[in-house]
Amino acid sequence: MYFGLSEDQIMLQDSVRRFLEAQSELEHVRVYAEGDDALAGQLQNGLMELGVPLVFIPEAQGGLGMGVLEAALIQEMLGRFVAPSAFTPAYGMAVAGLNVGTNADQRNVWLGRIVGGDVVMGVGVTEAVGAREGAGLTLSAGAVSGRASFVMGAETATHFLLAAGDALVIIDRAADGVTETALTTIDKTRKTIMLDLENVTCDVLEGSAQPAVETMINVGRVLLAADSFGAAEMMLQKAVAYAKDREQFNRPIASFQAVKHMCADMAARLEPCRSLLWYAAYAQDNVPEEGPLMACMAKSHISEVGKFIARTATEVHGGMGFTDLMGLHYWFKRIGFNRQLLGGPEKTRHDAAVLQGFSN
């Protein structure tokens, strides 16, 4: 038994870390957040060169054939450096869906195009988690209509992989009948949209859509949890560093017991999340009977701990944490965004109860 990362996994994560340390420092983040896509594109290209988009695609389709754990390790780093990347929807969830929910031909075609780089998927599965008033897609004669809300990955998507009732469909972003409404969210490093579709031609994936959509949601939950974990880890690190640096009453605030205990509480709550995240990611590929439950556990628990740390780390920074000067809010908002997508903690805990037969 070995509960930990392999050397390869550590190397993979370190290479992404080193790249992002250089490419995604705060000044770059500010530029992305203000909507300058050039710098974000440069970061995408760098990730591409590292092979990041390929990690989760099977070798048979030209990918690197790694698992959800590797994807989570990458996403943790993207969260740690609040990098503007659609990795979770485009190269995590979409790939997971295509792996499960289609026949070999369609899989080869679409994954091949993703590997080739001429297709980047956005995903819309919000209604499969819980449909808000009026939202939802219906399929009729090979065309799809209705609203898909909170579609993820809009920054780079050329196509969208969408849950439409019992089906899973792909549409071209440029197709007739597609109306996009850009959403402004708290997190300016990722782009989310509403899609209103009217009779849009689509490729309906053959095979059973239900398990595919569920897999997409599970993988998405694990990756959002990884993102929050990475962001929370960085916030704790920043809080400790700030506390050592900042003096009040002639001593570093890190020497005040109240500040020390706030940091200790953060560390004590965050550290077990790392193991939970590793296991939840690992289980998706290796312990399938526990995959959905562990996705719920990681998403809900890391969302709660993440919120606690987002607030407490800000508090340690005092007024500075509240300003834009230190940019701490990018991490705060990233954690806030992850919390709500694909089911908030109450929803994911409810799903966990259902999975265990504790509720209907």
**Distance between CA atoms of 242 and 244, rounded to whole angstroms?**
5
Cβ burial of 331 (10 Å; 0-12, 13-18, 19+) is buried
Question: Shortest approach of a second copy to residue 296 CB, angstroms?
Answer: 22
Residues 191-250 that bind a second copy (CB under 8 A): none
CA angle 287, 293, 295 (to 5 degrees): 85
- Choosing from 18, 244, 261, 274, the residue that interacts with a second copy (CB under 8 A) is 261
For strand 178-182 and strand 121-124, is the pairing parallel, antiparallel, or unpaired?
unpaired
Residue 314 binds another protein (CB under 8 A): yes
* Residue closer to another protein, measured from CB, 91 or 150: 150
By beta-carbon proximity to a second copy, the closer residue of 256 and 322 is 256
CA distance readout (Å), 230 to 56, 196, 310, 333: 19, 33, 12, 13
- Under the binding rule (CB under 8 A), the answer on residue 258 touching a second copy is yes
Nearer to another protein, 28 or 188 (CB): 188
Q: Are strands 178-182 and 192-201 parallel, antiparallel or unpaired?
A: antiparallel
Site string for another protein, 246-275 (x = CB under 8 A): -xxxxxx-xx-xxxxx-xxx-xxx-xxxxx
Closest to a second copy by CB, 132 vs 261, is 261
DSSP annotation of 356 reads T
Of 297, 282, 277, 291, residue with least CA distance to 350: 297
Token pair 């205990």 is found at 261
Shortest CB 257 distance to a second copy, Å: 4
- Stated as kind and residue range, the H or E segment containing 339 is helix 328-340
Q: Does 2 bind another protein (CB under 8 A)?
A: yes
- Which among 74-82, 84-92, 104-112, 276-284 is the span making contact with another protein, rule CB under 8 A? 276-284
Q: Coil, strand, or helix at residue 167?
A: strand
Among 23, 256, 327, 355, binds a second copy (CB under 8 A): 256
Nearer to another protein, 147 or 159 (CB): 147
Contact predicate 196/160, CB 8 Å? no
203 SS3 class: strand
Q: Which amino acid is at 140?
A: S
Burial class from Cβ neighbours inside 10 Å (0-12, 13-18, 19+) for residue 197 reads buried
308 lies in the site for a second copy, by CB under 8 A: no
Spell 301-319 as b/e; 16+ CB within 10 A means b: bbbbbbbbbbebbbebbee
Residue 59 interacts, among another protein, a second copy, none and using kind-specific CB cut-offs from 5 to 8 Å, with none
Q: Rounded CA gap, 331 and 56, in Å?
A: 25
Q: Would you say 60 or 264 has its CB closer to another protein?
A: 264
349 binds, among a second copy, another protein, none (CB under 5 to 8 A by kind): another protein
22 binds another protein (CB under 8 A): no
Among 23, 145, 199, 340, binds another protein (CB under 8 A): 340
* Residue 138 interacting partner from a second copy, another protein, none (CB closer than 5 to 8 Å by kind): none
297 touches which of another protein, a second copy, none (CB within 5 to 8 A by kind)? another protein
Q: Does 257 bind a second copy (CB under 8 A)?
A: yes
Q: What does the binding site for a second copy look like in residue numbers (CB under 8 A)?
A: 256-258, 261
